[in-house]
Structure 1
Amino acid sequence: MAIGKIFFSGSFFFFLYLVGFISIPADAAVKRYQFDIQVKNVSRLCHAKPIVTVNGMFPGPTIYAREGDRVLINVTNYAQYNMSIHWHGLEQFRNGWADGPAYITQCPIQTGHSYTYDFNVTAQRGTLWWHAHIFWLRATVYGAIVIMPKQGTPFPFTQPYRETNIILGEWWNNDVEEIVKQGNKLGLPPNMSDAHTINGKPGPLFPCSEKHTFAMEVEQGKTYLLRIINAALNDELFFAIAGHNMTVVEIDAVYTKPFTTQAILIAPGQTTNVLVQATQAPGRYFMAARPFMDAPLTVDNKTATAILQYKGVPNTVLPILPQLPSPNDTAFALSYNARLRSLNSPQYPANVPLKVDRHLVYTIGLGINPCATCLNGTQLTASLNNITFVMPQTGLLQAHYFNIKGVFRTDFPDRPPKPFNYTGAPLTANLGTTLGTRLSKIAFNSTVELVLQDTNLLTVESHPFHLHGYNFFVVGTGIGNFDPAKDPAKFNLVDPPERNTVGVPTGGWTAIRFRADNPGVWFMHCHLELHTGWGLKTAFVVENGKGPDQSILPPPKDLPPC
Structure 2
Amino acid sequence: MDIHVGQSFSFLVTMDQNASNDYYIVASARFVDASTRDKLTGVGILHYSNSISPASGPLPDGPNEGDTYFSMNQARSIRWNVSASAARPNPQGSFRYGQITVTDVYALLNRPPELINGQLRTTLNGISYIAPQTPLKLAQLFNVPGVYKLDFPNHMMKRPAKVDTSIINGTYKGFMEIIFQNNGSTIQSYHLDGYAFFVVGMDFGTWTENSRGTYNKWDGVARSTVQVFPGAWTAILVYLDNVGIWNLRAENLNTWYLGQEVYISVVNPEISNKTELPLPDNAIFCGALSSLQKEQSHKFRFSEASPFANSCRMISIPLLIAWFSIWL
8 Å CA contact 1:366–1:380 kept in 2: the answer is no
8 Å CA contact 2:115–2:121 kept in 1: the answer is yes
Structure with more of its chain in helix, by fraction: 2
Which shifted more, 346-355 or 531-540? 346-355
2:145 matches 1:397: no
Cα gap change, 1:285 to 1:371, in 2 (>3 Å): farther
Deviation (angstroms), 1:395: 2.5
8 Å CA contact 2:126–2:157 kept in 1: the answer is yes
Deviation (angstroms), 1:298: 8.3
Cα gap change, 1:386 to 1:319, in 2 (>3 Å): same
Post-superposition Cα deviations, 1:434-493, rounded to whole Å, max 9, x if no partner, equal 0011101112111111111111xxx43221111111111111211111111x11122111
| Residue-pair matches, total | 275
d(CA) in 2 for partners of 1:493, 1:477: 13
Query: Structure 1 vs Structure 2: percent identity of aligned residues?
Result: 27
Q: TM-score, normalised by structure 2?
A: 0.76
2:16 matches 1:279: yes
- Alignment match, 2:71: 333
The one-letter code of the counterpart of 2:106 is L
Structure with more of its chain in strand, by fraction: 1
8 Å CA contact 1:519–1:545 kept in 2: the answer is no
Q: Write out aligned runs for 1:232-251 (5 A).
A: none
- Alignment match, 1:440: 168
- Alignment match, 1:351: 96
Cα gap change, 1:517 to 1:299, in 2 (>3 Å): farther
Q: TM-score, normalised by structure 1?
A: 0.46
Cα gap change, 1:531 to 1:559, in 2 (>3 Å): same
Cα gap change, 1:314 to 1:410, in 2 (>3 Å): farther
The one-letter code of the counterpart of 1:331 is Y
2:80 matches 1:342: yes
Which shifted more, 345-354 or 461-470? 345-354
- Alignment match, 1:468: 193
d(CA) in 2 for partners of 1:546, 1:530: 39
Cα gap change, 1:269 to 1:511, in 2 (>3 Å): same
The one-letter code of the counterpart of 2:10 is N
2:222 matches 1:498: yes
> Residue 417 of structure 1: SS of its match in structure 2?
coil
> Residue 143 of structure 2: SS of its match in structure 1?
coil
The one-letter code of the counterpart of 2:137 is L
8 Å CA contact 1:267–1:464 kept in 2: the answer is yes
d(CA) in 2 for partners of 1:525, 1:299: 28
d(CA) in 2 for partners of 1:290, 1:365: 27
Post-superposition Cα deviations, 1:412-448, rounded to whole Å, max 9, x if no partner, equal 1111102xxxxxxxxxxxx611001110111211111
d(CA) in 1 for partners of 2:55, 2:218: 48
8 Å CA contact 1:466–1:502 kept in 2: the answer is yes
Deviation (angstroms), 1:399: 2.3
Deviation (angstroms), 1:371: 7.8
Deviation (angstroms), 1:321: 2.5
8 Å CA contact 1:526–1:537 kept in 2: the answer is yes
Cα gap change, 1:368 to 1:312, in 2 (>3 Å): same
Deviation (angstroms), 1:507: 0.4
- Alignment match, 2:205: 480
Cα gap change, 1:317 to 1:398, in 2 (>3 Å): same
Deviation (angstroms), 1:338: 1.4
The one-letter code of the counterpart of 2:48 is Y
> Residue 331 of structure 1: SS of its match in structure 2?
helix
Q: Runs of 5+ in structure 1 lacking a partner?
A: 1-263, 373-378, 419-430
Cα gap change, 1:370 to 1:441, in 2 (>3 Å): closer
Cα gap change, 1:325 to 1:399, in 2 (>3 Å): same
2:260 matches 1:522: no
Deviation (angstroms), 1:309: 2.1
CA RMSD of aligned residues (A): 2.5
Cα gap change, 1:313 to 1:403, in 2 (>3 Å): farther
Cα gap change, 1:557 to 1:288, in 2 (>3 Å): farther
Cα gap change, 1:560 to 1:415, in 2 (>3 Å): same
d(CA) in 1 for partners of 2:236, 2:29: 25
2:44 matches 1:306: yes
Cα gap change, 1:286 to 1:396, in 2 (>3 Å): farther
The one-letter code of the counterpart of 1:279 is D
- Alignment match, 1:407: 147
2:105 matches 1:369: no
The one-letter code of the counterpart of 1:507 is G
- Alignment match, 2:181: 453
- Alignment match, 2:315: none
> Residue 300 of structure 1: SS of its match in structure 2?
helix
Q: Write out aligned runs for 1:426-437 (5 A).
A: 432-437=160-165
Cα gap change, 1:444 to 1:286, in 2 (>3 Å): same
Deviation (angstroms), 1:316: 5.7
Post-superposition Cα deviations, 1:483-518, rounded to whole Å, max 9, x if no partner, equal 11x111221111122211111122011111111111
